[in-house]
Amino acid sequence: MRIILFLAANFSILVVLSMSMRVLGIDDWLAQQGLAGQINGILVMALLIGFGGSFISLALSKTMAKHGMGVHVIEQPSNPTEQWLVETVARLAREAGIGMPEVGIFQNPHPNAFATGMNRNDALVAVSTGLLQHMNADEIEAVLGHEIGHIANGDMVTMALLQGVLNTFVIFFARIVGIFIDRVVFRQEEGIGMGYIIGSIVAELVLGILASIIAMWFSRWREFRADAAGAHLAGRHKMIAALRALMRDPEPEDLPGEFAAFGISGSRHGVLGRLLMSHPPLEERIARLEQMAA
């Protein structure tokens, strides 16, 4: 249902876009420029690239995590810690109503964890060696509950869908801007010139920043929901204690690449400040949990 709703929303947006272009007379202008037939092609290309890249990344996320981040998947527990991790994830997954995820450990001195996977019944939950070293059992259980919450909420698929929509609009509008600059400013009569190349590149950079702001806003909202899930599955006091434990890390850092938005913790400062933070400040997350009914 989540996928159907997002696809329906995307289709509705495209319909509104199409109607707006007609009402504003953009279609007529494009026709006069001999470009009306190219718009459908640009839109199809934007959809294919926008959604294709997003879903290929999601489909390969578990593989990239295992090989790119060196996640050691626990096939057969070799010590009490690994046994406890597998049993705890299994219990939390049952309570959340999802299939048993793979459980792994990756080398990182900072306390962190993430969940990824295209299917809520075939996901991966991984914790860092730093998290195992610096947190107690209750705090780790809450972190695992938080990650199980991400999986149960379908956050990975939802994020991919949102990113696909944003990618599509960035690609589409950047090329429309490039065509406009090429024809109107540079007076290019046929084919494409430097105006299109320069205009589309600059527009893609600007629109890309705006798209990132939207994506990071959604990521922060999603973290509050995962915290609530962790509090429900493991206990509110354990979830608060886990977040307080993360605050003890003097130099928190993001996970690499696309995994940054899925970690339990992120860096506390972004290039554009809060607008590009994948995670809300830990103080705000704790405050939200403290406001929940006991």
The 10s digit of each residue's pLDDT in 145-165 is 999 999 999 888 888 888 888
Q: Which residues are catalytic?
A: 147
**CB contact set of 79 (below 8 Å; sequence gap of 6+):** none
φ/ψ of residue 200, rounded to 5? -70, -35
The whole-angstrom separation of Cα 42 and Cα 27 is: 14
**Helix, strand, coil shares of the chain as percentages rounded to 5?**
70, 5, 25
In this predicted structure, the answer to whether residue 6 has a pLDDT above a threshold of 50 is no
Q: Are the C-beta atoms of residues 222 and 230 closer than 8 Å to each other? A: no
Over residues 66-95, mean pLDDT: 94
Q: Are the C-beta atoms of residues 223 and 115 closer than 8 Å to each other? A: no
Over residues 141-146, mean pLDDT: 97
C-alpha neighbours within 13 Å on the C-beta side of residue 278? 17
Q: Tell me which of 197 and 254 has the higher pLDDT.
A: 197
Q: What is the pLDDT of the chain when averaged over all its residues?
A: 82
Residue 56 pLDDT class (50, 70, 90 cuts): confident
C-alpha gyration radius of the chain? 22
In this predicted structure, the answer to whether residue 209 has a pLDDT above a threshold of 50 is yes
Strands (E), the chain: 72-73, 102-106, 113-116, 124-128
Identity of residue 217: W
In this predicted structure, the answer to whether residue 244 has a pLDDT above a threshold of 60 is yes
- Report the percent of the chain where pLDDT is more than 90: 38
Residue 2 pLDDT class (50, 70, 90 cuts): very low
The whole-angstrom separation of Cα 209 and Cα 203 is: 10
